[in-house]
Structure formats: C-alpha cells, structure tokens
Structure 1
C-alpha cells in the first residue's frame, strides 16, 4: 500500500476541521497509509517586516525539511504552482505512484506560506486556486481531492 504524508505547519484548532479531515483520512485508508506530521508554527504579526517573515519561513521550513526523506516525492502547495482539474490531479497521482520510491508527501505551509528551501526541495508545485485558504481548511480540501483522485483512478463513483 502506498504511503501518503501530510506535512503541515501548525495544528488544526477547530473541531469541525479536525472531524472533516478525520473522515477523509478514514476514507483514504482503503487506498493508502496516511501519516500526518505537524510542525510548530511561528507567531507572526500582520505588520511583520519582510525580514521577520523570512526568518519565520526559514524556521518553519527547517522543521518541515527535517521530516522529508531523500526518497520522498514532495508536492508543495503554493499559490503560483501548477493548476489542474480533479481528473488531472488523479492522473498526476497515478503517474507519481508508478515511479514512487518513498512516500508521496504533500506540504502545506503556515499563514505566510512556505520557505524558498522547501519549495526548492519540492518535486512538484501544486496550486488549488489563486485565492488564499486557511491552512487548516486546505488540509481538508487536499484530503478530499486525494480521496476523489483515488476514486477516479479506481473507476469508482464519486459525487460531482
């Protein structure tokens, strides 16, 4: 069975996000072993300087990179990444699984994104939208789309 890793900055605070993610994690368990690694997020202010934001990104980035193995296929979620439809995402996952040597690892940054080092380590950069989503909600959206992708890959019905 394939190993899928959610590598995320911060934890889910709201119970409704935790419950939604837990439901998709349970649904995904018939297709993959799911691991979730949460790294500590740094406190930041909306008025933080660019230098402080870079310091925060660097600290969070180091924590993320420590969790990534050399043979992981890393997909970084970034606004300026590649966009696709659900069927295209399923095709990508199917392709990645064919050549996978380690885990399929999806990385979600904190409130100010991902460090340049994490993005540089990524094998693929994925964007779900030009809009910004709370990272807690993004974890649920990503889990749902991975579940939908496995349903597509296996020619199983899923609501549209």
Structure 2
C-alpha cells in the first residue's frame, strides 16, 4: 500500500516545508509515501466560495486513480487519538490494495464531487489550523503511527 497526501493551497513557508519534507523522508522508511501540494487555480481567491470549491475539486479529481481509498481531512470527520490513528493505518494496510489517499481541501472545504468520491472523513482536531499546520500535523502523526506500529520509542503513553 502507498499513502498519498494531497493538499490544496500554497507551500510558501520554508520552515514548514522543511519539517514536512523531513517527516516525509522518515515515513518512507516504513512505507511508500508521497505528499503533493496542489496550487490554487489562477484568480481562485476572487471566485465565489462555491466556484472556488468546484475549481479545487477538479484539481483533486485529476490526481485520483481508480481503486484509490479516499480519506478527506475534514472538520466533520472522525477524530482519533494517535494510538487509534495507528490502528486505522494498520487496518487500511491490510485492506487497501493500492493507494490510501488523504486530502486536505481549500479554505472552504471540498466540492460536492469530492465528497461523493470520498470513502471516509478524518478530523485532525476540532480546532482550526492553517494549511501549512495541517500538512505538518498530518505528516507528523503519520510518522508517529508508523513508530507506534513498530513499537519504537518515539511515542510515549
């Protein structure tokens, strides 16, 4: 199984980008992992919210492949502790044959098309984070899940 993480927005903060890259390299020690930031469309910030979500949705759909298991990072999704998230990843590694795809949407969420394609929704927190923070928190938690599953000392109860 390969884990793919797509996120909408800009990746313009070098400190965040460096930390996310570092966690991505660590994750690749355990399994195949790819993270990609999908840039917002031209003039998208000037569009009404609904049109912006539709435009972002088209970018997301273009990246998907048949057989992908899609998990949206969404504030209405299921919340997990780090241990529970590790078990979630473990279960998916046994049931998802190709790609487990996590997607962080734009500032207004996802288009209806993307919601229809999703298999599940996951919430990182009930708090609101910047897109840069979401990328960092997600990659760190994925790395933490890998160390939990390998019984390594990174995570402490």
**TM-score greater than 0.5 by the shorter chain:** yes
Compute the RMSD of aligned alpha carbons.
1.5
Which sits farther off after the overlay, 149-158 or 34-43? 34-43
Quote the residue 1:12 is aligned against: 11
Q: Is the 8 A contact 2:4 2:102 kept in 1?
A: yes
Matched ranges for 1:78-89 at <5 A: 78-89=74-85
Q: Secondary structure at the match of 1:120?
A: helix
Change (3 A) 1:34 1:150: same
Matched ranges for 1:1-160 at <5 A: 2-42=1-41, 43-44=44-45, 52-160=48-156
CA distance in 2, matches of 1:70, 1:136: 28
TM-superposition CA deviations, 1:115-153 (whole Å, max 9, x none): 222122111100011221111110110000000011111
CA distance in 2, matches of 1:135, 1:117: 21
Q: Please, what TM-score do these two structures have when normalized by structure 2?
A: 0.91
- Give ranges in structure 2 of 5+ residues lacking alignment: none
Q: Secondary structure at the match of 2:16?
A: helix
Q: Secondary structure at the match of 1:6?
A: strand
CA distance in 1, matches of 2:26, 2:39: 27
CA distance in 2, matches of 1:24, 1:9: 19
Q: Secondary structure at the match of 1:60?
A: helix
Shift of the alpha carbon at 1:159? 4.0
CA distance in 2, matches of 1:148, 1:129: 16
CA distance in 1, matches of 2:85, 2:108: 25
Shift of the alpha carbon at 1:105? 0.8
Q: Secondary structure at the match of 2:127?
A: coil
Shift of the alpha carbon at 1:37? 2.8
